[in-house]
Structure 1
């Protein structure tokens, strides 16, 4: 393999001069840059992009930050699809991704700070948003470039890519009530109750109010919570005739528990992410595709743009979601 030292020796210059010439550094004359770049092309030199970027004080790496979780969040199909979109864009730019995960916010923060201090990572995509997030606070304070998949709190002007989750909640509720004829639907979210879940709940309640339909809400307990809590709730709500859940995994988990308590009751389920590829027997299941791969790709493109604080600028992107018919 041809190295930059080989090029420097053949060109009769120092390694630093060869490196600067290959990076189009204006401190090197245009004639010398052309000569060394031409020599590199003839020799078939392939740059080490990570080393090249380190001369700029930045690795050719984008950190992808998962929400803190004690469960296998990283196995959620939404995140896998989002990472697929991120990776496609990074590959085109000759970057790679590095993942930060942890059970707590402190664990994730330690992972991210190590990326910054030890690996010189200066660009990040956060796959979540919530109030007072120490990771986002750290990145803001350090002046590092980051983009959120999800809508940040109103107290910050972070750049983000998201769906309109209020509208998504309205769409799910409309389909459940108008098409699937639910008259006593339940809205099911996670125990964390992320901002996107709050927005979908808002849309759900707006449509239910317009239709004059009574609603109930519940949260799926954490994996380590006693199952008796949700079992008791299900026993106390036997008249539910429709489910709107904030994602497929939450919806199907809730439905399975519902069936255990009410084995003879068949209720329709509407959720989000289109992460179940095969039809489910004996389940009236409908999922709204949020196109996470597009969200990830848009976030990866955005992380290479400069941040702007102008209202309505293109660094805050709302992408469409699938409409059920």
Structure 2
């Protein structure tokens, strides 16, 4: 005769509802009770039927992962791969699956999110980015669909569970790091103000310079789209920058190539520091000093928070900050007066 949850409950001296919650890994059940129930499940050779349980709970045991508007660069960016790896690690623990949601425009993305939700293909969504006036976040919030955001949301901030770094502080920290090396003329390349993460980093950069009594030179600040001529013009300014803060490692890779083409040596003529600490940072020449934002943990915590919200709609809203640290490599050097 097949083993049932009633058999497990009797052996563990708990209610059948408790066994069900242990199978769902509910946060409402203590770790000690979970361990006792799982011991009995193992002793009796019980294998949970997740498909039947999902049907009974009207859940899909699946999460939708919403990418930014998709182009080739998005899929080549290791940030998204690493955050998805963190999500995958947690979903495997909880016996959930993932479904990527992509689109070339906001409208296409929104249409696919609506289709997935109305067809009951997923229980909730993780938004892998944050930007102002996002129609996808508007839809998720207004329809009361469970979701979490990686990054600081620009809508419904107090009501939205999100996982982020303190990007404002990180922006200040990199400037302070460069000033400790003696740099006074510090530019910023990659100021993509459409994305909240870059907006916050630029805000921190500006604040650190102002607190040090330095003027923020608007000609020192570039977006993520630049040419060799733009970078040459930057170094023709008086005084030219001796260091550059870069929006992220992918932009830094392009900037490093541009500096090489126009004959600016790193770090002798210009130091470079960036954000994200992707694997490619260690492979650049010279290796890139970068801020490690623990991308894996961003994804892991976003998935954990979402599943907790799915299992308990009354779960409190969380604002989780993942610590960052500067990883020093050879792209920055001390400057002598």
TM-score range, shorter chain: 0.7 to 0.9
Rate the CA distance shift 1:287–1:87 in 2: closer, same or farther, 3 A.
Answer: same
Rate the CA distance shift 1:177–1:252 in 2: closer, same or farther, 3 A.
Answer: farther
Pair 1:116-2:117 in alignment: yes
Q: In structure 2, what is the equivalent of residue 168 of structure 1?
A: 170
Among residues 275, 284, 292, which one is paired with 1:272 in the alignment?
275
CA RMSD of aligned residues (A): 3.4
Correspondence list, 1:282-293, <5 A: 282-283=285-286, 285-293=288-296
Tell whether the 8 Å contact from 1:270 to 1:286 is kept in structure 2 after alignment: yes
Pair 1:251-2:252 in alignment: yes
Q: Secondary structure at the match of 2:64?
A: strand
Tell whether the 8 Å contact from 2:249 to 2:281 is kept in structure 1 after alignment: no
Correspondence list, 1:89-168, <5 A: 89-153=90-154, 155-156=156-157, 157-168=159-170
Give 5+ residue unaligned stretches, structure 2: 5-15, 22-39, 329-337
Pair 1:316-2:319 in alignment: yes
Pair 1:218-2:215 in alignment: no
Tell whether the 8 Å contact from 2:190 to 2:247 is kept in structure 1 after alignment: yes
TM-superposed CA distance for 1:154, in Å, is 5.5
TM-superposed CA distance for 1:266, in Å, is 3.5
Higher mean displacement: 265-274 or 208-217: 208-217
Rate the CA distance shift 1:257–1:82 in 2: closer, same or farther, 3 A.
Answer: same
Tell whether the 8 Å contact from 2:168 to 2:200 is kept in structure 1 after alignment: yes
Query: Displaced runs of 4+ in structure 1, greater than 6 A?
Result: 307-310
Rate the CA distance shift 1:279–1:139 in 2: closer, same or farther, 3 A.
Answer: closer
Q: In structure 2, what is the equivalent of residue 28 of structure 1?
A: none
Tell whether the 8 Å contact from 1:188 to 1:246 is kept in structure 2 after alignment: yes
What is the TM-score of this pair, normalised by structure 1?
A: 0.77
Pair 1:234-2:231 in alignment: yes
Rate the CA distance shift 1:45–1:320 in 2: closer, same or farther, 3 A.
Answer: closer
TM-superposed CA distance for 1:243, in Å, is 1.2
What is the TM-score of this pair, normalised by structure 2?
A: 0.74
Q: Secondary structure at the match of 2:234?
A: coil
In 1, the alpha carbon distance for the partners of 2:231 and 2:262 equals 7
TM-superposed CA distance for 1:308, in Å, is 8.9
TM-superposed CA distance for 1:323, in Å, is 4.0
TM-superposed CA distance for 1:244, in Å, is 0.6
TM-superposed CA distance for 1:294, in Å, is 1.0
TM-superposed CA distance for 1:51, in Å, is 4.8
Q: Secondary structure at the match of 2:244?
A: strand
TM-superposed CA distance for 1:177, in Å, is 2.3
Tell whether the 8 Å contact from 1:268 to 1:283 is kept in structure 2 after alignment: no
Rate the CA distance shift 1:234–1:323 in 2: closer, same or farther, 3 A.
Answer: closer
